[in-house]
Amino acid sequence: MLKIKDLHANVEDKEILKGINLEVKAGEVHAIMGPNGSGKSTLASVIAGNENFEVTKGSIELSGEDLEDVSPEERAHKGVFLSFQYPVEIPGVSVTNFMKTAINESRKAKGLEDMPAKDMLKLIREKSELLEIDRKFLSRSLNEGFSGGEKKRNEIFQMAMLEPKVAILDETDSGLDIDALRIVASGVNKLKSKDNAVILITHYQRLLEYIVPDYVHVLHNGKIVKSGGKELALELEEKGYDWLKQETAV
Amino acid sequence: MDLKDKLISSFMAFENNVDVEHPVHDVRMAAIKNFEEKGFPSKKEEAWKYTSLNSIQKIDFSIFPKKENALEYKDVKRYFIHEIDTYKIVFVDGIYSSYLSETTHDGVDICLMSAALTKPMYKPVIDVYFNKVASKDESLTSLNTAFSREGAYIYIPKNKMPKKPIEILHFSTGNEASLLLQPRNLIVVEENAEVQIIERHQSLTSNEVLTNAVTEIFAAKSAIVDFYKIQNDVESASLIDNTYIDQKDKSLVKVHTFSFGGKLTRNNLNFYQNGEYIDSTMKGVTILGEKQHVDHHTLVHHIEPNCESHQDYKGIYGDASTGVFNGKIIVDKIAQKTNAFQQNNNILISDKASINTKPQLEIFADDVKCSHGCTIGQLDEDALFYLQSRGIPQKEARALLMYAFANNVLSSVRIPELKIRINKLIAEKLGVNLGFDL
């Protein structure tokens, strides 16, 4: 479904990604772990099409289609979703209005009519229940004054609404207490299917107890230095990242 | 003949139509003398450095409309906040339209300046308040004072509040090739009384209109005044709005200025805090395009201790539009414990657009909190990426972010239907069409 080949990316002439290879098939959950500054969030941003990063080499393919020169909004329409580590506050635009706009823009891109208001309300109700989101919450301005947990829950709510093919969750567990983590993880698990894929970007193993990955990759200095099954996450938790650094230095 | 000479020579004709024995006429005569001495302000004056009235003075304005022009309500309905019931004081080409208006004398006076300036029953109020807070020095205010005859007269006695908001509307029909209007409003809100006013100037054709308006507002002890100015006029209409506000102890006055249109707009908004525990709030949203020009000059004079002022002006400038924000705060030596806040944030969305923003603080007291900030920037790229990553195209995402930026000022609008209307206007100006149920 998602194929990343020898991906190099710069920000302001500094190379952050130095040759990433990754293949994610439908139905799979991949975890990308690694120390701070290893390039995890950059990888997430580059997949979503953030133009602040320049891809200098390599390619990203979604369902066989090269995403080079595809804008962030078009990637979203094709089924890429990024749950942000730091969601942006948009005062004056309610969660509901924002979601309506996002859904209808995506439908427009596919040549479909706007979703009828009744269906939209039904969908919003369904998905907000999935994430135990209060109705009042939906009429608040997007992310404005939200707690860290509310922001992350809202990100997953958006994912539920948009039903992406590939969802990248960037540090979705950071800033969450255990109850919020459980709700968010259970939401993601319910959204998982054989037709979509999830990439979890995380620093800690904690999230992976709730969303169990099929594969774990370790990113270090812009490269995937080790891949394995879910047990690799436990190993990292136990030993930290220092041993990896030594191992790769050798 | 240039406009100044034409105005001065018209004053005699004007005198034939007013009661020259009335004490107000002495005020008019002093005012025309001041205008004659000073004339139109030029760019050499600091306060007019960025706003030129030169091209306006070349227009051969009619100073008195020739006849009363009727308008059908259905043709102008959209300029009213027709979703709610309001009192209405409506002028067509400067002449009162009883047909479009709804005035009242039921416990409050919501009526006409022409009546207040001629009928004996209003004389006590006129004697105390007329031209008492308006500048006697500023030439355009004097010009208005000299020709003051018509406008809105609102008197709210102690402890009263009108049943509904008041709309003041000035229409110009374009029946004159070019028309000068000089409405004069007097609003007196007595102790513990309250009023909400919405004001709009609207030209209905592309003929030139210049409005030089003066509004005096007196808020007595614990009075509450909400004043909303909607400036969304056509490209041939210019407005010089001079508003003077006198506040007494514990009064609360908010003025919202929504500047979305017109050729040249100059807002002189002046607050004088003559008491303690006063709150003065000025909020503004400016969204301009083409070659439009808006100049906001605010003044808050903190004369007594323990008062607050809040200013929050947001501007979005596109095309070759230009803006000015000049916020002056004076804190007298005696005015300790003053809190004065001023904020002016601007977004330029075109290389040709420009804004000149200047805080001007004169603080003579030592125990005060004053803050001011002005920013001129582009849109936040991270926010833009966030919206795009949800499938919202870049153009719409930009508009949505600008909408959010401007919308932020509206939280203090206390008439929900007006807030919806302004929201829609903002969305329309920014080309946001996002299926909002506003």
**What confidence tens digit (pLDDT) does each residue in B273-331 have?**
999 999 999 999 999 999 999 999 999 999 999 999 999 999 999 999 999 999 999 99
- The confidence band for B201, taking pLDDT boundaries of 50, 70 and 90, is very high
Helix axes A148-162, A95-109, angle to 10 degrees: 30
In sequence order, the β-bridge partners of residue A199 are A30, A168
Contact across the interface for B435 and A104, Cβ inside 8 Å: yes
User: Which of the residues A51, A77, A80, A90 would you substitute to probe the B interface, choosing the one with the greatest number of B C-beta atoms within 10 Å?
Assistant: A90
Residue B436 has pLDDT above 70, yes or no: no
Determine contact: A72 vs chain B, CB below 8 A: yes
> Bridge-partner residues for B230, per DSSP?
B200, B258
Identify the domain boundary among B242, B274, B306. Answer: B274
* CATH number (domain holding residue A96): 3.40.50.300
> Residue B326 — left, alpha, or beta (φ > 0 → left; ψ -120 to 50 → alpha)?
beta
Domain's final residue, options B252, B274, B296: B274
Query: In this complex, is the C-beta atom of A101 within 8 Å of any C-beta atom belonging to chain B?
Result: yes
CA distance A78 to B169: 51
Exposure string for A226-236, b = 16+ CB within 10 A, e = fewer: beeebebbeeb
Alpha helix (H) ranges present in chain A? 40-48, 72-78, 95-109, 117-130, 135-138, 148-162, 178-191, 231-239, 242-249
Round to whole Å and give the CA distance between B179 and B108. Answer: 32
- Nearest C-alpha in B relative to A116: B435
Contacting residues for A119 by C-beta, under 8 A, at least 6 apart: none
B359 is a domain residue: no
Q: State residue B168 phi and psi, 5-degree precision.
A: -110, 115
Q: Which of A52, A67, A70, A105 to mutate to test the interface with B (most CBs of B within 10 A)?
A: A105
CB B120 within 8 A of CB B21: no
Q: Which residues in chain A have their CB less than 8 angstroms from residue B381's CB? A: 52
Q: Are residues B31 and B152 in the same domain?
A: yes
CB–CB contact B435 A114 (8 Å): yes
Strands A223-228 and B339-348: unpaired
Q: What is the pLDDT of residue B438?
A: 40
B51 by Cβ neighbours in 10 Å (0-12 / 13-18 / 19+) ranks as: buried
Query: In B, which residues are within 8 Å of A50 by CB distance?
Result: 385, 389
Structure tokens at B210: 């210049």
Determine the structural domain holding residue B247 and report its residue range. 3-274
Report the complex ipTM. Answer: 0.94
> Hey, are the CB atoms on A97 and B382 less than 8 Å from each other?
no
* Rounded CA separation B293/B343 (Å): 20
For residue range B321-366, what is the model confidence (pLDDT) as tens digits? 999 999 999 999 999 999 999 999 999 989 999 999 999 999 999 9
Question: DSSP states of B6-31 as a string?
Answer: HHHHHHHHHHTTS-TTSHHHHHHHHH
Query: Do B190 and B52 have their domain in common?
Result: yes
- Interface size, chain A vs chain B, as Cβ–Cβ contacts under 8 Å: 89
Q: What is the mean pLDDT of residues B170-176?
A: 92
Query: What is the mean predicted confidence (pLDDT) over B163-174?
Result: 96
**Listed residues B248, B274, B300: the one ending a domain:** B274
Q: Is A157 on the interface with B (CB under 8 A)?
A: no
CA distances from B359 to B230, B242, B363 (A): 24, 19, 12
Question: What pLDDT shows up at residue A247?
Answer: 65
The tally of domains found in chain A comes to: 1
Pairwise CB contact (< 8 Å): B391 & A106: yes
Cβ-nearest to B404 among A73, A84, A90: A90
Q: Which chain A residues are Cβ-neighbours of B390 within 8 angstroms?
A: 76, 98, 102, 158, 162
- Of the candidate ranges B138-147, B214-223, B347-356, the one whose mean pLDDT is the lowest: B347-356
Instruction: Confirm whether B312 is domain-assigned.
Output: no
Smallest CA-to-CA distance from B247 within B326, B302, B329, B166 is with B302
In terms of CA atoms, which chain A residue is nearest residue B388? A73
B218-241 in b/e form (b: 16+ CB < 10 A) is bbbbbbbbbbbbbbbbbebbbbbb
What is the pLDDT tens value at each position of chain A, 250 positions in all? 999 999 999 998 899 999 999 999 999 999 999 888 899 999 999 999 999 999 999 999 999 999 999 999 999 999 999 999 999 998 878 899 899 999 999 999 999 999 999 999 999 999 999 888 988 899 898 999 998 889 999 999 999 999 999 999 999 988 888 888 999 999 999 999 999 999 999 988 888 989 999 999 999 999 999 899 988 888 888 888 777 666 665 4
Query: Domain for residue B249, yes or no?
Result: yes
Report yes or no: A97 at the B interface, CB cutoff 8 Å: yes
Q: Which residues of A touch B401 (CB under 8 A)?
A: 90
By mean pLDDT, which of A54-58, A241-245, B46-50, B224-228 is the weakest?
A: A241-245
Facing residue for B404 by CB, picked from A49, A93, A114: A93
Report chain B residues whose CB lies below 8 A from the CB of A73. 388-389, 391-394, 397
Q: Give the β-pairing of B194-203 and B166-172.
A: parallel
Residue A144, chain B, CB below 8 Å: the answer is no
Question: In Å, how far are A12, A22, A106, B33 from A29, measured between CA atoms?
Answer: 32, 12, 25, 84
pLDDT value for A30: 96
Whether chain A has a CB inside 8 Å of the CB on B395: the answer is no
Residue ranges making up the domain that contains A83: 2-249
- The secondary structure element, H or E, covering residue B428 is helix B416-429
CB contact under 8 A, B387 and A90: yes
| Domain contains B346 | no
Select the residue of A71, A92, A162 nearest B403 (Cβ to Cβ).
A92
- pLDDT on residue B47: 95
Asked whether the beta carbons of residue A82 and residue B435 sit closer than 8 angstroms, the reply is: no
Q: Please check whether residue A75 touches B, CB under 8 A.
A: yes
CB contact under 8 Å between A73 and B391, yes or no, is: yes
Q: Does A77 touch chain B (CB under 8 A)?
A: yes
Question: Is 50 exceeded by the pLDDT of residue B120?
Answer: yes
Whether the CB of A93 is below 8 Å from some CB of chain B: the reply is yes
Q: Report d(CA B217, CA B225) in Å as an integer.
A: 9
> How close does chain A come to B299, measured CA to CA in Å?
29
Can you give the pLDDT at residue B149?
95
* CA B243/CA B217 separation, integer angstroms: 8
Which residue type, as a one-letter code, is found at position A167?
Answer: A
Q: What does the pLDDT average to over B401-416? A: 88
- Averaged confidence pLDDT in chain B: 94
Same domain, residue pair B77 and B216: yes
A229, amino acid identity: G
Query: Can you give the pLDDT at residue B255?
Result: 98
The tally of domains found in chain B comes to: 2
pLDDT in tens, B372-402: 999 998 888 899 999 999 999 998 898 888 8
The beta-carbon neighbor of A92 closest among B388, B397, B404 is B404
**How far is it, in rounded angstroms, from Cα A46 to Cα A32?**
14
Secondary structure (3-state) at B32? helix
